[in-house]
Amino acid sequence: MTQHVFPIPSALAATAHVDRQTYQDLYQRSLDDPDGFWREQAQILDWVKPFTSVKNTRYSPDAVTIEWFADGTLNASFNCLDRHAQGRGNEAAILWEGDTPGDTRKVTWNDLRQQVIRLANALKKLGVRKGDFVSIYLPVVPEAIAAMLACARIGAVHSVVFSGFSADALAGRIEDCRSRVLITADEGLRAGKHVPLKKNVDAALENLPFVEHVLVVRRTGRDVPMRAGRDRWYDEALAEVPDECAPVAVGAEDPLFVLYTSGSTGKPKGMLHTTGGYLVHAAASFRAMFDYRPGDIHFCTADVGWVTAHTYLIYGPLANGATIVLFEGVPTWPDSSRWWQIVETYKVNIFYTAPTAIRSLMRDGEGPVRQHDLSSLRVLGSVGEPINPEAWLWYHEVVGGGRCPIVDTYWQTETGAVLLCPLPGATNLKPGSATKPFFGVRPALLGSDGTLVEGEGAGNLCFADSWPGQARTILGDRERFLNTYFSTFPGYYFTGDGARRDADGDYWITGRLDDVINVSGHRLGTVEVESALASHPSVAEAAVVGMPHEIKGQGIFAFVTLKEGIAENDDLRRDLIQVVRTRIGPIATPDRIEWAPQLPKNRSGKILRRILTRIAAGDYENHGDTSTVADPAVVAEIVRRVQESTNSSAL
């Protein structure tokens, strides 16, 4: 196979923070002397009490310890605000672009700091103390960032819940961390449509009496019911508190936030991140991987509900004093030139997005991009799923004008910040490869029997040591944390992904190996979708697998067995889709539902998703090892039906 290699642009090689030699030297040093290396990196932050210990980590089968900078103290909101407001107070921290074209706000460092201080005081007045959890269910508005930083200012722990999640999904995430305070908005606005956030909140809180206070941001100004004694308008609560609030020094290992992500069971995992290590890793990697220079305008398109936004829209950039573009809407509304119009308007230098969006924009051709002057762009980034070479080349050529390196950044909600990525001035690029480990990161490929793959080869992607941004536990479930990440390959952190290493030592992610699928760069547990389907009274059981999808990367294919006597029809299909949307949210909408009289199982009754995955991919003959199937006729019948409906929809 011929391999495109894109060498480092010479202008960047000469001026970048990290060039090829520096990367090699620093990477080696970060492995040989992690304490020295990270002590230096940690100077990117202001510490209240400097740390003396740096790395205290151990992955042994009987004990996992992850501590970084443990005896230091600091405040994240001070690092992301006060030190930049001093001297640059009237410059923009946030350039906000609303869903409706023309609806914009410039939020200066002073403005943001003032808002954070007032909200911190309002939270204190509601009884929020250090270590308490606060849930945030907001659209992509500056108030969402203020809410996160206000929690950080007083040592409270935020839990941002994606505003596209349903009332049920929100309720589960509030219940798990037992937050007594929730910050939301009257409504969200997305592609011109109103999203009933407060209504969802009211439904979510019906069975959660421990939630005492709801602060409501006026986003659209529509009338929403306010429950006396519980609900308050955000602006009114902020108006009546003092405008001073000293940042609280917290321990580096005190929690900063929890963020829920899907796993192999029906229950999402609350990944708990702490303050010092997370912020060092976020800030240092943001600077290196985007080759950030003071004055740059950074545009990360992620929603505040995902880890991408936590680390590379908010904490990493703001800790560096970067001006960020915050965009509430979608790239295709009112038309497919929206992002490029924003890039031109704000003269964006760094642009970070997901492959799925690139693929969907590619369909509309080069026209919408070419209408705009994108010459301000210097570095492009990709995250969330493997980027296919066609999308990479289009992104590079059409968006980046062939001049901008694309940093393909591999990481996870659990890893807090990047683990594998090129650095613009240091790494040759290969479309589709996340290339090399970030500083201090030790990737390892392991065979399923646990043997280490050396040199060129493929295997389970693991990491042999800790890194500062790593999640410290799953909230309330240490056992699950240890089992999920540290028990499969003792001595290693296991990502759940497969990867290949080529002859140059570059890494290529091949996708999830567990019961997790990646839909448009968002992680979904197949079991979550199955449980939602099975909650419908007509369903006996369901099996959900990923299927190849041109735009989303993976789509959701559901095989559903109905109860005795229930008729298979399209109305029921629609009902099932509705159930999933209500239980989880629109992102989990199945792309295809097939009726299966029975599901393929092994002799002990375990559903064989492996076989269904092949069928969903259109592979009707080659099901791998079928010797474990209790009844082969079941597989034959499913294949017959899937083939039949594929043929009829192709007509």
Q: For binding to ligand WT7 (CB under 6 A), which residues are involved? A: 261, 307-308, 383-386, 408-413, 434, 495-497, 509, 512, 518, 523
CB of 485 to ligand WT7, least distance (A): 11
- Please say whether the beta carbons of 416 and 470 come within 8 A: yes
Q: Enumerate the β-bridge partners of residue 255.
A: 274
Rounded Cα distance between 181 and 516, Å, is 31
Cβ proximity to ligand WT7, 460 vs 495, nearer residue:
495
CB of 409 to ligand WT7, least distance (A): 5
Residue 244 known to bind ligand: no
- Could you tell me what percentage of the chain is helix, strand and coil, using 3-state DSSP and rounding each to the nearest 5? 35, 25, 40
**461 secondary structure, DSSP code:** E
Cβ proximity to ligand WT7, 198 vs 609, nearer residue:
609
Residue 627 known to bind ligand: no
Cβ proximity to ligand WT7, 75 vs 308, nearer residue:
308
Strand-strand pairing, 553-562 and 539-549: antiparallel
Cβ proximity to ligand WT7, 59 vs 392, nearer residue:
392
Cβ proximity to ligand WT7, 303 vs 594, nearer residue:
303
- Please say whether the beta carbons of 434 and 420 come within 8 A: yes
The answer for residues whose C-beta is within 8 angstroms of residue 125's C-beta and 6 or more apart is 237, 241
CB of 283 to ligand WT7, least distance (A): 17
Beta strands in 502-650 (DSSP E): 507-512, 516-519, 522-525, 539-549, 553-562, 592-595
Residue 431 known to bind ligand: no
Rounded Cα distance between 609 and 526, Å, is 10
Rounded Cα distance between 67 and 470, Å, is 9
CB of 381 to ligand WT7, least distance (A): 9
> Element (H or E) spanning 360, and its range?
helix 355-362
Residue 624 known to bind ligand: no
CB of 546 to ligand WT7, least distance (A): 11
Cβ proximity to ligand WT7, 285 vs 308, nearer residue:
308
CB of 415 to ligand WT7, least distance (A): 7
Residue with tokens 């308490």: 132
Rounded Cα distance between 444 and 465, Å, is 10
Could you tell me where the DSSP H helices lie in 223-354? 234-239, 276-289, 307-309, 316-319, 338-346
Residue 512 known to bind ligand: yes
Residue 603 known to bind ligand: no
Cβ proximity to ligand WT7, 337 vs 412, nearer residue:
412
Whole-Å CA distances, 333 to 32, 98, 99, 337: 50, 12, 8, 8
Residue 308 known to bind ligand: yes
CB of 305 to ligand WT7, least distance (A): 11
Q: Enumerate the β-bridge partners of residue 525.
A: 516
SS3 category, 95: strand
CB of 267 to ligand WT7, least distance (A): 16
Torsional class of 544: left (φ above 0), alpha (ψ -120 to 50), beta (otherwise) = beta
Rounded Cα distance between 103 and 567, Å, is 49
Cβ proximity to ligand WT7, 113 vs 310, nearer residue:
310
457's tokens: 């080869």
Residue 296 known to bind ligand: no
Residue 193 known to bind ligand: yes
Q: Enumerate the β-bridge partners of residue 549.
A: 553
Residue 190 known to bind ligand: yes
Q: What is the greatest pairwise CA distance in the chain? A: 74
Cβ proximity to ligand WT7, 118 vs 552, nearer residue:
552
462's tokens: 């693991």
Residue 635 known to bind ligand: no
Cβ proximity to ligand WT7, 328 vs 385, nearer residue:
385
- Residue-wise DSSP of 471-528: --EETT-HHHHHHHHHSSSTTSEEEEEEEEE-TTS-EEEEEE-SSEEEETTEEEEHHH
Cβ proximity to ligand WT7, 384 vs 425, nearer residue:
384
CB of 22 to ligand WT7, least distance (A): 23
Q: For 193, what's the count of Cα atoms within 13 Å in the CB-facing half-sphere?
A: 8
Cα end-to-end distance, the chain, whole Å: 35
CB of 637 to ligand WT7, least distance (A): 32
511's tokens: 């996708």
- Please say whether the beta carbons of 219 and 189 come within 8 A: yes
Any idea of the CA torsion for 385, 388, 389, 390, to the nearest 10 degrees?
-130
CB of 432 to ligand WT7, least distance (A): 9
CB of 440 to ligand WT7, least distance (A): 18
Cβ proximity to ligand WT7, 328 vs 408, nearer residue:
408
Residues belonging to the binding site are: 190-193, 308, 384-386, 497, 512, 520, 523, 536, 539, 581
Which residues are known binding-site members for CoA?
A: 190-193, 308, 520, 581
Annotated binding site for Mg(2+): 536, 539
